[in-house]
Amino acid sequence: MKKQFILTFVLFVLLSISSYSQTRGFGLGIIVGEPTGLSAKYWLSSQNALDFGLGYSFVKKGRLHFHMDYLFHHQNVFQAEENFALYYGPGFRLKTVEGDDARLAFRFGVGIVWLPRNAPIDVFVEIAPILDIIPATTFGVNAGLGLRFFFN
């Protein structure tokens, strides 16, 4: 089973290499930090995208973590030969915790993404202040480093 998964993943990566644009299409990868798990991005335009995270939360008896953000990207903010973009945007987070409780929160993600010119990937680092609203009002922070492969 593990071998089939790896072979399928490699096949998808190889098939997507012919398409180098990361400002369109759908990307899937990993995020490490809080949360740690899967990361996905779906481009709505060349500057706007939906960002999703599904993973395990390590904070305060956390278990499953899901978030979605609406992101605005600003290209050419940094003077560099590589393609870096600054992004930010509002979203929400749903997290389950021990005892079958759930927490709903607003979040605001801010990050930097590297969009290599010759590969269908992006590499990102982000931080997102969190304001829990259900069941109680508390403040927290999510942060992570991630990599996604794009399938156009």
Instruction: Find the helix or strand (DSSP H, E) in which 93 lies.
Output: strand 84-97
pLDDT per position as a tens digit, 78-98: 877 888 999 999 999 999 988
Provide the CA 101 distance to its chain's centre, in angstroms.
24
pLDDT per position as a tens digit, 2-49: 555 444 444 444 444 444 446 789 999 999 999 999 999 999 999 999
pLDDT per position as a tens digit, 58-82: 887 778 999 999 999 998 888 778 8
Integer Cα distance of 50 and 88 in angstroms: 11
101: pLDDT confidence band, cut at 50, 70 and 90? confident
Tell me the residue range of the domain where 36 lies: 2-151
The structural domain count of the chain equals: 1
What is the CATH number for 94? Answer: 2.40.160.20
